[in-house]
Amino acid sequence: MRFFCMMPVRDEGDIIGQCLRKLLEWADAIYVFDTGSVDDTWDIVQDWAARDKRVKPLRRDSVYFSDDCLRAWIFHHVRGEMRNGDWFLRVDADEFYHLPPPEFVTTRLRPHETIAWYQVCDFRLTESEVKAWEEGRETKADRQRPIEQRRRWFTPRFYPEPRLCRYRDSMRWPATTSFPYNAGYVARERLPIRHYPHRDPAQLDRRSRLRAYMRQDAWKVGADHHWGPSEWRKFVTPDDLPELQYWKPGAALPEVRWTNHLAPPHKRALQRIVHAVGLPLLDPLRPGWVEGAYPGRIPVETVRRMERELGPGCTENACS
């Protein structure tokens, strides 16, 4: 039983090293697709790959992120390394597995459960932390510290997504779906993950501008939908938010036990029968990967603008 991580990345230079270090505590292989970083993300990935052969840089190309085609492309290029009974994960660079997946599979899953959804705790950037940054009590030098020491306040996320799945060689994952068809029998337990999308004001400002450039181009939206350079502040969390909780590194996360990822009992009973005996018959009936499918490429002029305004040597704005 092996564990394969499939990770798209983009401009995560401040955290990708920490993420890879944690993943390497349990992963058998980490496949990375860089979707066009203009910071040092790709260099960091290459450096880790030179030191540990389990880190496998797949490709660097300026493409739009997509939960369907991009992740399916990675899976299609990785599945030849997998065997029936291995496990694969959709991994993001700002997520940390609170319980290592091998331990989760061994201690939390029943033998007939073959796919797990995640239970995310979103760690927030609070108003008081922004104030500390603006007063110089926290700076970019603090990024050398583990992220779990810097961001301590979180809110549990109700919305679940599939993250961990047991591989079978007949499964189909076309470019039009975010996960394989009939991926598996859904586990009742959720895989606990700590999520750090908003790490400091400079990172958050940069993230907002980056997404604004791509969003304008990808969907051709008007100015009303543009994320301006200063709009990162709308993601800052008030210190008195009622649902905000404090986490001490090393402590357990709250067991929320939500079940909104599960089908109704009658349907779930039928799914168990089908997943136990019928998937090898159903899989060939589903559409599979089409050769030549590929994520949409970002226009050259957009790439150049991001390199000019967000790449190495660019002028930092006031918040950074």
Task: Please indicate whether residue 169 or residue 231 has the higher confidence score (pLDDT).
Answer: 169
Strand residues in 158-304 grouped as ranges (E): 162-166, 191-195, 245-246
**pLDDT, tens only, 103-142:** 999 999 999 999 999 999 999 999 999 999 999 999 999 9
Would you state the pLDDT for residue 217? 58
Strand residues in the chain grouped as ranges (E): 3-9, 29-34, 55-60, 87-90, 95-97, 115-123, 153-156, 162-166, 191-195, 245-246
> What does pTM read for this prediction?
0.92
Would you state the pLDDT for residue 311? 82
Q: What mean pLDDT comes out for the span 77-98?
A: 97
**pLDDT, tens only, 9-58:** 999 999 999 999 999 999 999 999 999 999 999 999 999 999 999 999 99
With bands split at pLDDT 50, 70 and 90, how would you rate the model's confidence at 276? confident
Q: What mean pLDDT comes out for the span 198-212?
A: 90
Would you state the pLDDT for residue 313? 61
Which of the residue ranges 60-64, 115-119, 155-159, 315-319 would you say has the lowest mean pLDDT? Answer: 315-319
Would you state the pLDDT for residue 142? 97
Q: With a cut of 60, say whether residue 315 has pLDDT above it.
A: no
Q: What mean pLDDT comes out for the span 270-290?
A: 91
> What token pair was written down for 7?
């990770």
Nearest Cα to Cα of residue 205 among 127, 316, 292, 129: 316
